[in-house]
Amino acid sequence: MLFRASAKTVAAMAMDGSLFFQLTEQFFHQHGHGVGSSEARSWERSIPALVTALNEAGLGDVEVLLEYALPLNSKRADAVLAGRHPATGEPSYVVVELKQWGQAEPDEEDAELCHVGRTAPVLNPIEQVRRYCQYLVNFNGALAEHPHRVSGVAYLHNATEFGVAGLRAIERDDQGQMFTGQQRGEFLKYLRSKLSDTAPGAPRADELLNGKQGPSKQLMAIAAQEVREREQFVLLDEQQVAYRMVLNAVRKAKQADSKEVVVVTGGPGTGKSVIALSLLGELYRQGISALHATGSQAFTKTMRKVAGFRKREVQDLFKYFNSFMAAEKNSLDVLICDEAHRMRETSANRYTSAALRTGKPQVEELIDAARVPVFLLDQHQVVRPGELGTEAEIRAAAEKKNLACTVIPLDSQFRCGGSDAYLRWVVRLLGLEEGGPVVWEPDDRMELRIADSPEEMERFLDERRAQGFGARMSAGYCWTWSPEPKPGEPLPADVVIGDWARPWNLRGDRGVAGAPPSALWATDPAGFGQVGCVYTAQGFEYDWSGVIIGPDLVWRGDRWITDRTASKDPVFKKSTSDDDVDRLIRNTYKVLLTRGMVGTVVHSTDPETQAKLRELVGAQLETAAV
């Protein structure tokens, strides 16, 4: 949230110009960069239109929360109005989406999408605000048991009914209303029906802001219900647009007997896997032949376990990228390629039969397998030599086959508590973005702590587990990984730092000595006793993440130095260039540092590096104890 005050205070500040200054200053503090011109115009024009309406409706004491951040992601509602319901006396909240549009038209093929001028499709604002309401109910403890307290409205204050009438084609409910400037009187009446003019809104706003943020709907824990029964995820804005555009591509391909390639790009936590599972669930329910494929053994096996619990046909929905070497062309309607940045040059390995060793690129095999191949990727998460899934590679493969290729970018992120500031801090820290490391400025979304030792880190994380949070420890691949012990023998404690020693997570498909198999390390509570590596952590998330930076990445003077001799990762061969090793090691720590949803604890085994981290992150670990 950028600012809160009563409607009459906001109106006065908008008139004297101080509101815009407050918003821009807070935006820069929270995001590290200035506000865009379109958003600035919205603040200058739309907020006065809203608060003027509130004051004319006699609701000057209603509390206005501007740019309200939805829990655990980076999406912001333009405004949330807090007050008391005039009929029930209960707290009442109205989520408001403000649009300056003069006119807009629904998409010809999908009423949930619309066009403003000749732009790419965006979500219909009625659907947009409805989904904000649903998401807020799902993730704010103050509302979880009281969904009726939340209403949603899109206010298009510059529009006439003629200009936007087509947007009303989608079904409306109490969480999805729309009013235009021409309907200003009706809008005032609506506000009075939701908010009382006799009670201040500040206490109700406090109740909303103090509502406990429920744990994120863990992707793994609800995949079974998502795939087999009904939609569980609430997709927001460009997530829903991407979801709808893929479904539309599938429908068109079936109707026209054609083929199209779709690429969905986005950084960590932008919701790519959530979109993938939502698509799979919807296609599966419609009886459309679709499969989910990844290059990650851990992710695929976890999906098979939780989504296909005792149900083989559901388990079979989850495949690997190299499963399609002998597939007939277009044998599937849809192939959803999740984590496509992990695609390899070819699918062949040492076990591949001679008949299948054709040298055909893996990306072409995946494109050939379905009428609509969908690739979801983040090319900055490449952590192994030979991984080459990029937008350019897929575009080139589609062009070679004379196929249309649609690219859908995702910007908002849901990982790391939805903290843009934290993700920006990580990429600056690791030199993956220009400008060098910066001092961490705490926000209200993500906690960051430095541990003076692995013992201290482990104790802190164990305390968080006792409070009901999930937690894991991971490390750079700087310690030799011993073979798995025989049944009955203890796990070898390979990760040794001073007097502290812990085992790596298991490699195999069976549990040993109480530790879960490799694929379940990130999701089974018994995984806390072992140290995870990037290959088991990638693609997963947990509440608290402990990250040990090993001697393969050290700070010297004014820069990072990568030491390939300190890495024990067997994927680094002599033929792997120093530049590639440097890039992959930095990407590895980016992956490890972006697994936590609530907080991250970091420790470096190198004294100079630890001192630099302490300089950048001032808070002592013990201050976080609850």
Question: pLDDT for 129-143, tens place per residue?
Answer: 999 998 888 778 788
The H or E element spanning position 404 is: strand 404-409
The total number of residues shown for the chain amounts to 626
The H or E element spanning position 420 is: helix 420-429
Is a pLDDT exceeding 90 seen at residue 266?
Answer: no
Report which listed range, 81-90, 404-413, 427-436, is most confident.
81-90
Is a pLDDT exceeding 80 seen at residue 386?
Answer: no
Q: Which of 51-65, 188-202, 529-543 has the lowest mean pLDDT?
A: 529-543
pLDDT-based confidence at residue 221 (cuts at 50, 70, 90)? very low
Phi-psi region of 326 (alpha: psi -120 to 50; beta: other; left: phi over 0): alpha
Cα(62)–Cα(151) distance, integer angstroms: 15
Is a pLDDT exceeding 90 seen at residue 79?
Answer: yes
pLDDT-based confidence at residue 247 (cuts at 50, 70, 90)? very high
Average predicted confidence (pLDDT) for the chain? 88
Percent of the chain residues past pLDDT 70, beyond the cut: 91
pLDDT-based confidence at residue 214 (cuts at 50, 70, 90)? very low
Q: Which of 277-281, 423-427, 454-458 has the lowest mean pLDDT?
A: 277-281
According to the model, what pLDDT value does residue 511 have? 86
Is a pLDDT exceeding 50 seen at residue 360?
Answer: yes
According to the model, what pLDDT value does residue 592 have? 96
According to the model, what pLDDT value does residue 510 have? 82
According to the model, what pLDDT value does residue 234 have? 78
Is a pLDDT exceeding 70 seen at residue 111?
Answer: yes
Q: 243 vs 277, which has greater pLDDT?
A: 243
According to the model, what pLDDT value does residue 311 have? 59
- Cα 524 to Cα 83, 514, 565: the distances in Å are 42, 11, 33
CA 252, 255, 260, 266 torsion: positive or negative? positive
pLDDT-based confidence at residue 417 (cuts at 50, 70, 90)? confident
Helix 272-285, helix 238-256: angle, nearest 10:
40
Cα(233)–Cα(135) distance, integer angstroms: 9
Cα(326)–Cα(349) distance, integer angstroms: 14
Report which listed range, 244-253, 346-355, 495-504, is most confident.
495-504
According to the model, what pLDDT value does residue 625 have? 40
pLDDT-based confidence at residue 73 (cuts at 50, 70, 90)? low
The three-point CA angle 528-534-536 to 5° equals: 55
Q: Whose structure tokens read 């001032």?
A: 618
Average confidence (pLDDT) over 81-101: 97
Average confidence (pLDDT) over 331-344: 91
Q: Which of 7-11, 15-19, 56-60, 516-520 has the lowest mean pLDDT?
A: 516-520
Average confidence (pLDDT) over 529-534: 95
Average confidence (pLDDT) over 46-74: 93
